[in-house]
Amino acid sequence: MVFGYARVSSADQNLARQLRELEVFGCDKIYTEKQSGKDFSRSVYHKMRSKMRFGDVLVVHDLSRFGRNKKEILNEWKKIMDEEIDIVILNMPILDTRKYKELEGIGQLVSDLVLTLLSWMVEEERNRIRAAQREGIAIAKERGAFRGKPKQYHADAKGKDKVIYDRAVELLTEGTSVMDIHREVGLSRNTIYSIKREIEGKSSRNRVIVK
């Protein structure tokens, strides 16, 4: 049986192009997944692998659909090869293990060389994206444009969040320990420390200095 696997990293990305190519190839069964490729902890992928047997073929659009971790890509490739399942990477025709069945050793050599290079490139691209994201956040912070995740518990919060915030402020004012506040209201210690810094800051700004 010919299995097709299509994956994108997030729910707002489109699988249409991959699906079209897998259908044109003639896959008998196509599995789709919208999940990060940082590792192989993917439920749909594992479901597909559990159904694959000796002589089957796995088809993906490009190597990054496997994942973005060099070591894990290489390990997964080896496992599939050991089960005598063929792999076809559509945008890299040289990575079609069906071509080398009559060339003992040559197919494995070609696959090893190309796969090592490509998996390294995939991982480098992932690292490059991460570095760019970090740099972008750092620049935004310098410009005052990066605000991070909005606060949930603050003086202008509404409903239940406001009730919890007010209780945390009340307990802090009474001198209750952060751990005891955490146990009573359920806020994380980091959030409580943030509220504490906030009210201490307001207190210092409101303090009248007499000379």
Segments of the chain assigned E as strands: 2-8, 29-34, 57-60, 86-89
Helix axes 178-185, 159-173, angle to 10 degrees: 150
CATH match of 2-129 with 3.40.50.1390: yes
Write down the pLDDT at residue 60: 94
pLDDT category of residue 205 using cuts at 50, 70 and 90: low
**Best mean pLDDT range from 44-53, 150-159, 165-174, 190-199:** 44-53
Answer yes or no: are the C-beta atoms of 123 and 68 closer than 8 Å.
yes
Residue 19 pLDDT: 93
Instruction: Locate the domains of the chain by residue range.
Output: 2-129, 159-206
| Nearby residues of 3 by Cβ (< 8 Å), 6 or more positions away | 27, 28, 29, 30, 31, 48, 51, 52, 56, 57, 58, 59
Q: Given this model, what pLDDT does residue 63 score? A: 78
pLDDT digits (tens, 9 = 90+) for 104-131: 655 566 666 666 666 666 666 666 667 7
Instruction: Name the one residue in this structure whose structure tokens are 């090592």.
Output: 116
Residue 187 and residue 181 in contact, taking contact as beta carbons nearer than 8 Å: yes
Percent of the chain at pLDDT above 90?
A: 22
Tokens at 29, concatenated: 């069964």
Q: What angle do CA 29, 35, 41 make, to 5 degrees?
A: 85
Instruction: Check residues 133 and 23 and name the one with the higher pLDDT.
Output: 23
The number of residues in the chain equals 211
Q: Would you please indicate which residues are annotated as catalytic (active-site) residues?
A: 9
Name the pLDDT band for 208 (thresholds 50, 70, 90).
very low
Checking if the pLDDT of 25 tops 90, the result is yes
Cα–Cα distance measured from residue 163 to residue 133, given in angstroms and rounded to the nearest whole number: 36
Domain 159-206 classification at class level: mainly alpha
Evaluate if residue 13 carries a pLDDT over 70: yes
Residue 190: count of CB within 10 angstroms of its CB: 10
**Residue with the larger pLDDT of the pair 39 and 166:** 166
Q: Has this prediction a pTM greater than 0.75?
A: no
Average pLDDT of 143-147?
Answer: 58
Task: Supply the pLDDT for residue 12.
Answer: 72
